Structure 1
């Protein structure tokens, strides 16, 4: 219900603001909101050639392309004059994101189809894990801890193994693998959900832990920083780990209090201590490596582990081939069957993702996001917050809405202020410290047709705020 109302508020407020801007004269046209593409120039006016300044008119006439661009300075946007069909079109600035119609197209071609391919492959592997008995053994081993965190889940339930694989994939920065494992976990949890259109306690806990974004190897962030010529691309790794870990603990505590979980459980405390020990141990190992060693380690660890999971699954399936025969199938046929289910899942979540991303596109292109971002920046500046922190806030503000959009702000901040600046580093920590909340909710709850998300959205947004505050303190401490 909350998500539905929020979606309606974004849609209605964005459209209202777009129409107000058009009729008040703030915008010359709103075509870019519908048909524009990211980084396209925005049409702000159209005049007859005799109405423009003489020096611009002369420059247009001398140009073979009948265009003229004013390069003001590096801090301001360019203005381009294009002469065509007796009028001069004036463009200034570029579009922040795709318009409504291009977003519909890119959602299918650039997001859903690749996601369906990932889902097909990893759901195929998971079918092998199920039939071969690996998932059952993994669930049996981890049940003592998981039944304390998820008391409503029966002991040895298959969802435990799926959630474990999802957490492990997130932990290692394996985004392409994390989503299929997570969707399979949601489907499995839905089988024991008594109210099918309402999120269960277990599903909310899983969603909030997943969205808190605990990441040990921030491979993509390191890659962006390396591309921006950072002196040490991996120097934000420890701040990212600390920030995302605090976010995960906050999510667990908030949901745990709501669900009255026993935090004094011995198995729960042991599991938490083992997780902390694993993080500290890996950090100590990475810390003694030189720059090349760190880059080599972070680049290859995740890939090696993913390949190891694939190889181990196939080998174990081969060794347990009798179980496939007993199930009247073969290893390959089981993989195909699982892959087919993955494709069906992709088709199911497409409308949910489309609806959310179109609303976000309208929100950004309407100008509302920019006004809110600038307003918050002004407030924080007057509160004494340093300009370096304020300049990084757009990444934090957009992160819950759009991973691609916040990534664009991240790259822009590093290009503008430098990858090794406080702004560039803080932007990097913001980017890797949490998930895209609204996208994740649309995908995961949409995959099992849950309409009432209860307190999941509110909790995830609170965790996002905690991660932002933590990132600021951690970045200020380290850098």
Structure 2
């Protein structure tokens, strides 16, 4: 419903702006520019979707290998001490624990569409433990919050869009996204734990937090010590090395377990193709809406107003150009994706604004969509504190994304 209002709003605002432009200037060509934007963005959305198909096939194929080699199950057993702290009401051997790990793993690998069916399966498992079927349990709320925070280690879709946009190094936003999404996840984890009175100060959690904070501190220190060009070169090199290492680990794991790596990859890649086809209508719809909005002059008017406001306050206002992506992200994943693509098309994939929009896109997930889908699938009617806490995590992710983009690319 929210996305419907947003989509209609783009056209209504564009029409009003076009009428105002016509009244003030007598320029009928404004309507020609709007129609041209419709056709151009329709073509652009389809081309982007075709390019994205290959990347989704790649990562879903690799994930299928990881599933069959037992890598994910092994990681689940390693993560069990941590998950038991966050979900104390779920028995350790209950199927929900395995589903939780599989879902979080898919999110961490940047496979949003693969994570969704796993998330629904997890909610069904958690519902089996729920004594009151219309109210969410603490475990459900913690799980939903972690999903909304969108913890991502491999932002594969963002990297794919940057490749399509012609970025010199599409993976150069890897570390900024990792830092922003980690901040979002830590905020939701702490908020949920305080509300549910979960004692996080236990050895596995303390060790986890210390490792994360140490990593953050090391990156910030390194950024302060090195020239910007050298820091960018090192950070993007590490990003690429980690991605290659993960791919090799999956493939060699399959060889070691003597599974048919090729057939496993093909099976997963087929799922990637179906996923890519499914997002084409959504991407085209949002890109057309954004194109109409921008062609009417409404986007420029909004940006100029915000730029003037922050410049009058003496602040650096470059981040304002990425504000539409920040505001759209909790409402619509496809909408935020469209705004991210639009930012790269307008300002350049390697511009500060283009990189910030990409970092914001990877910082968190689509809060409203996740709440509606996951709760609706199992008949939960009351969302409790899920929405406000998740929006606070979104805010933390957006603020961190802005700060680290200045650190890495200013």
TM-score of the two chains, using structure 2 as the length reference: 0.68
Structure 2: unaligned runs, 5 residues or longer = 128-133, 330-335
More strand by share: 1
More helix by share: 2
Task: Identify the residue that residue 385 of structure 1 maps to in structure 2.
Answer: 313
Give the C-alpha shift of residue 398 in structure 1.
3.8
1:20 maps to 2:21: no
Partner Cα distance (2:175, 2:407) in 1: 12
- Where do residues 83-122 of structure 1 align in structure 2 (5 Å cutoff)? 99-110=37-48, 112-122=49-59
Give the C-alpha shift of residue 186 in structure 1.
2.7
Task: Identify the residue that residue 110 of structure 2 maps to in structure 1.
Answer: 179
Task: Identify the residue that residue 360 of structure 2 maps to in structure 1.
Answer: 434
Give the C-alpha shift of residue 239 in structure 1.
8.8
Between 372-381 and 285-294, the greater mean CA deviation after superposition: 285-294
Task: Identify the residue that residue 64 of structure 2 maps to in structure 1.
Answer: 127
Number of equivalences? 366
Between 333-342 and 344-353, the greater mean CA deviation after superposition: 344-353
1:188 maps to 2:118: yes
- Given that 1:14 and 1:363 are in contact with CA atoms closer than 8 Å, whether structure 2 keeps it comes out as yes
Partner Cα distance (1:461, 1:12) in 2: 24
Task: Identify the residue that residue 8 of structure 1 maps to in structure 2.
Answer: 4
The structure-2 alpha-carbon separation of the partners of 1:430 and 1:301, relative to structure 1 and needing over 3 Å to count, comes to closer
Give the C-alpha shift of residue 137 in structure 1.
0.3
1:267 maps to 2:204: yes
- Where do residues 112-261 of structure 1 align in structure 2 (5 Å cutoff)? 112-149=49-86, 155=92, 156-157=97-98, 159-161=100-102, 163-164=104-105, 166-167=107-108, 178-180=109-111, 182-194=112-124, 201=141, 204-210=144-150, 246-254=183-191
The structure-2 alpha-carbon separation of the partners of 1:269 and 1:365, relative to structure 1 and needing over 3 Å to count, comes to farther
Pick 1 or 2: higher relative contact order, CA cutoff 8 A, min separation 6.
2
- Given that 1:129 and 1:313 are in contact with CA atoms closer than 8 Å, whether structure 2 keeps it comes out as yes
The structure-2 alpha-carbon separation of the partners of 1:213 and 1:158, relative to structure 1 and needing over 3 Å to count, comes to closer
Task: Identify the residue that residue 306 of structure 1 maps to in structure 2.
Answer: 243
CA shift digits 1:236-257 (9 cap, x unpaired): 9999887665444334445556
The structure-2 alpha-carbon separation of the partners of 1:249 and 1:212, relative to structure 1 and needing over 3 Å to count, comes to farther
CA shift digits 1:1-23 (9 cap, x unpaired): xxx22x23323333223333444
Task: Identify the residue that residue 300 of structure 2 maps to in structure 1.
Answer: 370
Structure 1: unaligned runs, 5 residues or longer = 37-98, 168-177, 228-233, 325-329, 415-423
1:337 maps to 2:267: yes
Partner Cα distance (1:122, 1:273) in 2: 30
TM-score of the two chains, using structure 1 as the length reference: 0.60
Give the C-alpha shift of residue 127 in structure 1.
1.3
CA shift digits 1:283-341 (9 cap, x unpaired): 556766666754442232222222222222222211211xx4xxxxx332222111112
- Cα RMSD for the two superposed structures: 4.8
Q: Which SS does the other structure have where 2:98 is aligned?
A: coil
Partner Cα distance (1:359, 1:33) in 2: 10
The structure-2 alpha-carbon separation of the partners of 1:150 and 1:411, relative to structure 1 and needing over 3 Å to count, comes to farther
CA shift digits 1:336-390 (9 cap, x unpaired): 1111122122223333334333333333334333333334344445xx521x523
1:319 maps to 2:246: no
